[in-house]
Amino acid sequence: MQADYVIVGAGSAGCALAYRLSEAGYSVIVIEHGGSDAGPFIQMPAALSYPMNMARYDWGYRTAPEPHLGGRQLVVPRGKVIGGSSSINGMIYVRGHARDFDTWAEMGARGWSYADVLPYYKRLEHWHDGGHGGDPDWRGTDGPLHVSRGPRTNPLTRAFVEAGHQAGYPITDDYNGWQQEGFGPYDATIWKGQRWSAANAYLRPALKRENCTLIRALARRVVITERRATGVEVMRGGATEVIEARAEVILAASSLNSPKLLMLSGIGPAAHLAEHGIKVIADRAGVGQNLQDHLELYIQQAATQPVSLFKHWNLMGKAMIGAQWLFTRTGLGASNQFESAGFIRSRAGIDYPDIQFHFLPIAVRYDGKVAAEGHGFQAHVGPMRSKSRGAVTLRSADPADAPNILFNYMSHPDDWEEFRTCIRLTREIFAQDVFAPYRGKEIQPGADVQSDADLDGFIREHVESAYHPCGTCRMGSGDDPLAVVDPETRVIGVDGLRVADSSVFPQITNGNLNAPSIMVGEKAADHILGGAMLAPSNAQPWIHPDWEKAQR
């Protein structure tokens, strides 16, 4: 078994790489441990809470006990299926703010500023505005990834945007366009009522070519000969074999599994590798470090009118929605129900949004457990740029073992201040006049939870991951001792080896990570192919003119 390029992981970035490298005429083998994404639980957008809780589709990782969250162990779903986490995520499509990528460039990822990455976002997208306005000049119209908007017919969904406006924030037609800051409609990777994962967008078309092959196997380590990656050792059908790469090996196995594979292959912090009896090939202190995520709280409000999705939250209701979707790909089953967005700044002196809202017209948990009050609505809210950093480390030298994952959530005092601000700003939005016809009591945190100490207790007990882990193989300049890959995604210290997934983010972007992960795959493909990069954009995004003095 050999190919020009061997890609480990058929996730968001890996599928994009397979598509672009095979399109250029090279032979590609994609190694994926998970199986098929067939079936309604993945393909039906409204069923999103099922696949991320199914062992068949999820690696089943948990964090170590988090010391600042009272020792809680949080779940860390990662897609173990073709399409990777794009097959089990909430399908929300957020590029990130222009300043995120300018910060990457300032941190040593030269060539990854917003001007550099915007052309790749436009190349990957096929954007459908659905008659909801928006910013066509900033969007792509013929890429493989279909991006659309929900119908936004629920009155609560529309009320949330108007409440943001009443509270003094701007309205934005397209947060992925000129102006991110403000309230408006969400974009989603949904097309014709179906989840449009990286598998649907990129992998299936690539596999129709004779030069692209998918192999179901567990990658054990990268085979390195004289400091050059020459293949990948896998476990397949109970036997170990090596899949050889004539040109390069590319790890796109997630921000949890890519650093794990590097360390199992002898690339990582020398002392840590020695603890597990692994021979050191490249001493890279940054492998597995710099782990970041977004945390969020669900601020829930009871509804006094039966306008929420709760009326469908029974066996009969779900059966009707499922049947309509199966036969027509329409109805409530065709939306992820996250149809209204908000991006705001927590205080004056911050130049771009650092708080994100996901509004949902029902009060429910990610595992599908609905609030006892029945009808309600909620906003998921959290800070975008936590200063806390964690690490992915090896549990053992056995590739079958899950890695150790410690995010060290809420270890920085600023995180607590930012989360208290998130709760208070959300309450203010829910208190606006437009919600008056619907607003019942606050379900959680609850009206009596007001003091800093009480809010901190609520945060410690209820904060959840937004499932956006990244940063563990940070991109930076070749002489940066903590960088793992250079700005062309090449692993520093080993030839013929790259990492291209959310691991390489120097800093987390503001918003959901699926779009920037796919963008990394698209741009990395051009670095690998060695031709000219897409020409940088001259587009200048909107920044609040009074950001230094005003919060809104």
Per-residue pLDDT of the chain (552 residues; tens, 9 = 90+): 999 999 999 999 999 999 999 999 999 999 999 999 998 899 999 999 899 889 999 999 999 999 999 999 999 999 999 999 999 999 999 999 999 999 999 999 999 999 999 999 999 999 998 666 777 889 999 999 999 999 999 999 999 999 999 999 999 999 999 999 999 999 999 999 999 999 999 999 999 999 999 999 999 999 999 999 999 999 999 999 999 999 999 999 999 999 999 999 999 999 999 999 999 999 999 999 999 999 999 999 999 999 999 999 899 999 999 999 999 999 999 999 999 999 999 999 999 999 999 999 999 876 777 777 899 999 999 999 999 999 999 999 999 999 999 999 999 999 999 999 999 999 999 999 999 999 999 999 999 999 999 999 999 999 999 999 999 999 999 999 999 999 999 999 999 999 999 999 999 999 999 999 999 999 999 999 999 999 999 999 999 999 999 999
Integer Cα distance of 169 and 426 in angstroms: 12
Integer Cα distance of 287 and 367 in angstroms: 32
Write down the pTM of the prediction: 0.98
Q: Where do the domains of the chain lie, and which CATH numbers do they carry?
A: 2-529 (3.50.50.60)
What's the confidence (pLDDT) of residue 132? 67
Integer Cα distance of 126 and 96 in angstroms: 17
Alpha carbons within 13 A on the beta-carbon side of 238 = 0
Which pairing describes strands 355-360 and 282-283: parallel, antiparallel, or unpaired? unpaired
Q: Is 411 helix (H, G, I), strand (E, B) or coil?
A: coil
For residue 32, give the nearest of 209, 282, 202 by alpha carbon: 202
User: Pseudo-torsion of CA 357, 359, 362, 363, nearest 10°?
Assistant: 10
For residue 197, give the nearest of 86, 92, 51, 95 by alpha carbon: 86
Query: Residue 217 is encoded by which pair of tokens?
Result: 């196997």
What's the confidence (pLDDT) of residue 365? 78
Main-chain dihedrals φ then ψ at residue 269, nearest 5 degrees: -65, 120
For residue 75, give the nearest of 52, 106, 109 by alpha carbon: 52
Q: CA geometry: angle at 90 spanning 9 and 347, to 5°?
A: 110
**380 a catalytic residue:** no
Residue 25: count other Cβ atoms within 10 Å of its Cβ: 10
Q: Give residue 327's identity as a one-letter amino acid code.
A: F
Name the H helices within 174-295.
Answer: 198, 204-207, 257-264, 270-275
Query: Residue 272 is encoded by which pair of tokens?
Result: 């840590």
Exposure string for 510-535, b = 16+ CB within 10 A, e = fewer: bbbbbbbbbbbbbbbbbbbeeeeeee
For residue 505, give the nearest of 468, 552, 532 by alpha carbon: 468
What's the confidence (pLDDT) of residue 40? 86
> For residue 292, how far is the Cα from the chain centroid?
11
Which pairing describes strands 125-127 and 145-149: parallel, antiparallel, or unpaired? parallel
Element (H, E) at 319: helix 315-328
- Give the annotated binding-site residues for FAD: 81
Sequence-distant (≥ 6) Cβ neighbours of residue 345 within 8 angstroms: 181, 351, 352, 353, 354, 355, 544, 547, 551, 552
Query: Residue 98 is encoded by which pair of tokens?
Result: 């222009």
Which pairing describes strands 497-499 and 239-251: parallel, antiparallel, or unpaired? parallel
Query: Residue 236 is encoded by which pair of tokens?
Result: 């397949």
What's the confidence (pLDDT) of residue 169? 98
Kindly report the length of the chain: 552
Phi-psi region of 25 (alpha: psi -120 to 50; beta: other; left: phi over 0): left
- Give the annotated binding-site residues: 81
Q: Which of 146, 294, 358, 468 is catalytic?
A: 468
Q: Are 10 and 88 in contact (CB under 8 A)?
A: no
Q: Are 29 and 7 in contact (CB under 8 A)?
A: yes
Integer Cα distance of 261 and 267 in angstroms: 9
Q: Are 261 and 8 in contact (CB under 8 A)?
A: yes
Query: Residue 552 is encoded by which pair of tokens?
Result: 């809104």
Alpha carbons within 13 A on the beta-carbon side of 26 = 24
E-strand stretches of 292-350:
295-303, 340-344
Integer Cα distance of 399 and 431 in angstroms: 51
What's the confidence (pLDDT) of residue 497? 98
